[in-house]
Amino acid sequence: RSRQGLNEKDHIQNNMPSAIQEEMSHLDLRSQPVDYCLALRNAIKAVERLADQNEVEICLNFPDEPVEIATDPAMTQVFLVNLFSNTIKQANAGEICINLLTRQGKTSYTIKFTPKPGLSFSTSSYENLRLMASRLGLRFSVDDQPEGQRIILVSIGEGCPIALVIDDNEAFHDLLRRYLTNQTCMVEVARTSQDGLRLARQLSPDVIFLDIMMPDMDGWELLQRLKSNPFSKYIPVVICSVVPDAELAYSLGASFCLSKPVKREDVLKSLHDVGVL
């Protein structure tokens, strides 16, 4: 093969992670409760034929009851299928064991297998999976054992932090999504106060960004409702408004009060100070 052909291939391979990262940064992830046991089974079903071709048998060890995680279902499925496909292609003929564990409110799963002879661990071979895991707020690690087995550990117990934006301005939704790109924080939006109350109960977000000038219920009333309900009273609320009133905001239980147009550094500081990032 020509040197030019090799260089072009190297260039494509070297730029794959950044290209995938760029693609993922534009994804509009939407968090909702996902039964992770079912998601794992569906992903395994998608790679069954590949497993048969590689003489690999997949062994599952899951809890009897559903394990619900707040995450983006479509992106989760893409990640799992890619993870299992990658593992099957690296595994020696035999068994791949997948164990899903839930303990003290934290969930993780391990994938244990024996790599093909001569196939040493390569960080680059897992780079795309790491990028996808990071976008979903997962902790991803690979460890080669002395006895020749490889263990992939994915921790999802803490889940991906969710920021709920209650604002009827779509431009503000897009702004916060840009600010939080690569911060492993999913942005969910509500365009009305009533939808905001519903999603706050349904998603239990880690933080709420709240506008004051809303069409159906002003932000001050909504803030009082959020802080008076057991399901949402401990969720940090960041007021974002063109008419900010910090003294009133703090008296009603808000954690921060930012003036629009909000700055990226102020948004990130608020998230760091409330422990989301």
Q: What is the pLDDT at residue 124?
A: 64
Residue 52's region, left for phi above 0, alpha for psi from -120 to 50, else beta, is alpha
Within a 13 Å sphere around the CA of 164, how many CA atoms are in the beta-carbon half? Answer: 28
Within a 13 Å sphere around the CA of 145, how many CA atoms are in the beta-carbon half? Answer: 12
DSSP code per residue over 194-205: HHHHHHHHHH--
Q: What is the pLDDT at residue 2?
A: 33
Q: What is the pLDDT at residue 104?
A: 58
Q: What is the pLDDT at residue 9?
A: 37
Q: What is the pLDDT at residue 3?
A: 34
For residue 258, the cross-strand partners are: 240
What type of residue is 222?
L
Q: What is the pLDDT at residue 135?
A: 79
- Model confidence, pTM: 0.55
DSSP code per residue over 12-27: HHHHHHHHHHHHHHT-
Q: What is the pLDDT at residue 23?
A: 67
Q: What is the pLDDT at residue 200?
A: 86
Which residue, among 181, 211, 175, has the nearest Cα to 196 in the 3D structure?
211
pLDDT by position in tens, the chain (length 277): 333 333 433 333 444 445 666 666 566 778 888 999 999 999 999 999 999 999 999 999 988 888 888 889 999 999 999 999 999 999 999 999 999 987 656 788 999 999 998 776 665 678 788 888 877 878 787 877 777 888 898 888 555 678 899 999 989 998 998 888 666 677 888 999 999 998 888 777 889 999 999 988 999 999 999 999 877 888 999 999 998 899 999 999 999 999 999 999 999 999 988 888 7
With tokens 């299992």, the residue in question is 84
> Any residues with CB less than 8 A from the CB of 108 and at least 6 apart, and which?
100, 101, 153, 154, 155, 156, 157
The helix (H) or strand (E) run that includes residue 85 is: helix 73-90
Q: What is the pLDDT at residue 153?
A: 84
